[in-house]
Amino acid sequence: MLFGLQRHTAVTFAYGAEGKLAAGPHLVGTCDALITGESNVAMVVVTADCLPVVVAGNGVAGIAHAGWRGLAADVLGALVRRIGAEFGVARGDLSAIVGVGVGPCHYEVGEEVVAALAGLEVGEARWRSGSRVDLSAWARGRLVALGLQTDEVRSLRGCTACSPRFHSYRRDGAGAGRQWSAVVVETEER
């Protein structure tokens, strides 16, 4: 299992190795997105209102921890570009799933957040209503603007702050637990 020291950045880590990864957790350093084309290697992010975002295609997968600071720093762009540059996967061959995070019902923000997010192209996405921001809609719009096909970008429904099924920093403060989200590239049967 690979995980990073998450700091709301656009820093990505790509894992490639010959041979098996030793069992157990491996801290790879400071990063908010992980990528691999290796089989049976779990990559994990933890969230408590931020979005977990998985991008995958052609035997390569990546996962991002995406709060507003990381989104504004373009963690999704860094992830998609690195998958293309280092693994040769065309953007049109990628699919994405945006996991559950805080919803617009609980995400009222200041102008600095809106201005930071407005600095990147998100196509036709409707992600803002007054001072409320829909991070999931923003992330979907950003992925489409980066070249993923609209019908290949999906969001899981829900709001971490609304549902006791999820951990939420906004709802529970510093004592909030964390969701663990993982992605694994499966070995192909031959």
pLDDT at 21: 86
CA–CA gap between residue 168 and residue 174 (Å, rounded): 9
The more confidently predicted of residues 27 and 186 is: 27
pLDDT at 17: 82
64-80 per-position pLDDT tens digit: 999 999 999 999 999 99
Q: Is 72 helix (H, G, I), strand (E, B) or coil?
A: helix
pTM, full prediction: 0.96
DSSP letters for 128-159: EETTEE-HHHHHHHHHHHTT--GGGEEE----
**Between the CA of residue 172 and those of 60, 134, 159, 166, what are the distances in Å?**
35, 20, 14, 11
What's the average model confidence in pLDDT over 179-190? Answer: 83
What's the average model confidence in pLDDT over 28-52? Answer: 97
Q: Which residues have C-beta within 8 Å of that of residue 20, sequence separation ≥ 6?
A: none
CA–CA gap between residue 15 and residue 123 (Å, rounded): 31
81-140 per-position pLDDT tens digit: 999 999 999 999 999 999 999 999 999 999 999 999 999 999 889 999 999 999 999 999
Q: Which residues have C-beta within 8 Å of that of residue 35, sequence separation ≥ 6?
A: 12, 13, 14, 15, 43, 60, 61, 62, 79, 82, 83, 86, 87
- Is a pLDDT exceeding 70 seen at residue 189? no
Domains observed in the chain: 2-184 (3.60.140.10)
- Which band of pLDDT confidence, cut at 50, 70 and 90, is reported for residue 187? confident
Q: Which residues have C-beta within 8 Å of that of residue 190, sequence separation ≥ 6?
A: none
What's the average model confidence in pLDDT over 31-49? Answer: 97
Token pair in block for residue 169: 């920093």
What's the average model confidence in pLDDT over 17-26? Answer: 86
pLDDT at 190: 41
Q: Supply φ then ψ for residue 185, to 5 degrees.
A: -85, 120
pLDDT at 188: 65
125-182 per-position pLDDT tens digit: 999 999 999 999 999 999 999 999 999 999 999 999 999 999 999 999 999 999 999 9
